[in-house]
Amino acid sequence: MSTGIIAALILSGVTVGFINTLAGGGTIISLSLFMFLGLPPTVANGTNRIAVIIQNLVAVGNFRKQKILDTSKGIRLAIPTTIGSVIGASIGATIDQHTFEVCFGVIMLMMLALLIFKPEKWLHGNTDLAQKPISAASYITFFLIGIYGGFLHVGVGYFILAGAVLGCGLDLVKANAIKNLIVLCYVPFSLLVFIFNKQVMWEYGLIHAIGNVIGAYVASKWAIKLGSNFIRWIMVVLILISVLQMFNIVDFKSLLNLAK
């Protein structure tokens, strides 16, 4: 492996780890890089999960030290998400990926509109709702999120944040901490499915993880200082990028090739 490839994997890892820890959507960068380096899409999808596990392990540790992580609520939400992720990873090969990506793009647009026109829901949460037990609707929601995350993972952080804020009443900083815990819980199970199907490139994944750890550490330190409004605008930009890619308005993968 050349020095240039190693540097690209680490630098992209820093970027992805930072973005994913603060909001989500950074996976589109790592998947694009892996495919740019010649990995098939399924192998890129599986390989990416190595770094995701390690980056979230670092982020969760820092969020706990800062006492902004509700571990109990996070674990309860992680259980249905994990069950769903196993189902999603198992049936992923039988799903029409193009149709799934279109649906994802539509949902991204809905979330983008919510972030722009209803920011108070993201910035302040709902104290009364947050103090109530987790509803059956939220458990079902996170089960469905798990199916999506097990299958594709790209942008799953947005759905987890939406479920935690709108369904459980958490403010965005606390929801973001829980998001990292939920991802840490479910991704190892979906990774096992890819390992079983021999769709993991360990060398690329582990080197990429070095950068992810750095990015996750920095982002988890900054999250509480920068606050909900900063995270919200990070989400707006990344959702917009995801939508442009999903609907082929801008082909960011081609831009990577042009930069080669």
Q: What pLDDT, on the 0 to 100 scale, is given for residue 219?
A: 79
Could you tell me the pTM of the whole model?
Answer: 0.78
Q: Which residues contact residue 42 at a Cβ distance below 8 angstroms, ignoring those fewer than 6 apart?
A: 93, 194, 197, 199
Digit-by-digit pLDDT tens for the chain (260 residues) are: 788 899 999 998 998 888 877 766 678 778 878 888 888 878 888 899 999 999 889 889 988 888 888 899 999 999 999 999 999 988 765 666 666 667 667 766 776 776 677 665 655 667 778 788 899 999 999 999 999 899 878 778 888 988 898 888 888 888 888 999 999 999 999 999 999 988 899 999 999 999 999 988 887 777 656 665 666 676 677 677 767 766 777 765 565 454 44
CA–CA dist 69, 60 (Å, integer): 8
Q: What pLDDT, on the 0 to 100 scale, is given for residue 65?
A: 87
Residue 41 in tokens: 């899409």
Identify the burial level of 232 via C-beta atoms within 10 angstroms of its C-beta, where 0-12 means exposed, 13-18 middle and 19 or more buried: middle
Length of the chain: 260
H or E stretch including 226?
Answer: helix 202-246
CA–CA dist 83, 237 (Å, integer): 31
Q: Helix, strand, or coil here: 130?
A: helix
